[in-house]
């Protein structure tokens, strides 16, 4: 069982993803803002965070950069999987360049999601 943090501002999408992960016996926590991603990543120390790009306030890419700059200074170093409806090669490359371990395009396929999570935790 892994601790997984889902940062997604669409509650229906977050609940659906959480349902898939809970069925795999993971401990799932939620947030809906980029600023929460940063603070919850440090306080919960999840094994994996699923992070949306389009978030109110600080977007997911800015949160990703901030989280990994903290990790470089001794902060938590868990893995981050980006999830977004944005499917351009540039968005995917930028997320991976900033340290994301993978990228899923929404709507998320449950089989693909569970498979990626199993490989990452």
CB atoms inside a 10 Å sphere around CB 74:
7
pLDDT given for residue 92 in this prediction: 93
* Burial class, 63, CB count within 10 angstroms (exposed 0-12 / middle 13-18 / buried 19+): buried
Nearest alpha-carbon partner for 77 in 42, 119, 102? 42
| pLDDT tier, 12 (very low <50, low <70, confident <90, very high otherwise) | very high
Q: Cα(73)–Cα(85) distance, rounded to whole angstroms? A: 31
| pLDDT tier, 37 (very low <50, low <70, confident <90, very high otherwise) | very high
Beta bridge partners of 27: 3
- Show the domains of the chain with their CATH numbers: 3-107 (3.40.50.2300)
pLDDT given for residue 54 in this prediction: 93
At residue 13, does pLDDT exceed 70?
A: yes
Q: What is the pLDDT of residues 63-114, one digit of tens each?
A: 999 998 865 566 667 899 999 998 899 999 999 999 999 999 999 999 999 9
Whether omega for the bond prior to residue 79 falls within 30 degrees of 0, making it cis, is no
């Amino acid at each position: 069982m892994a601790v997984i943090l889902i940062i997604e501002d669409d509650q229906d999408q977050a609940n659906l993803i959480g349902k898939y992960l809970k069925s795999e016996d993971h401990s799932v926590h939620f947030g809906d803002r980029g600023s929460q991603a940063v603070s919850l990543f440090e306080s919960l120390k999840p094994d994996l965070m699923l992070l949306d790009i389009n978030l109110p306030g600080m977007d997911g890419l800015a949160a990703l950069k901030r989280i990994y700059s903290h990790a470089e200074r001794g902060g938590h170093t868990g893995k981050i999987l980006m999830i977004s409806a944005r499917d351009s090669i540039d968005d995917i490359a930028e997320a991976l360049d900033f340290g994301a371990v993978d990228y899923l395009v929404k709507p998320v396929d449950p089989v693909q999601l569970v498979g990626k999570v199993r490989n990452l935790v």
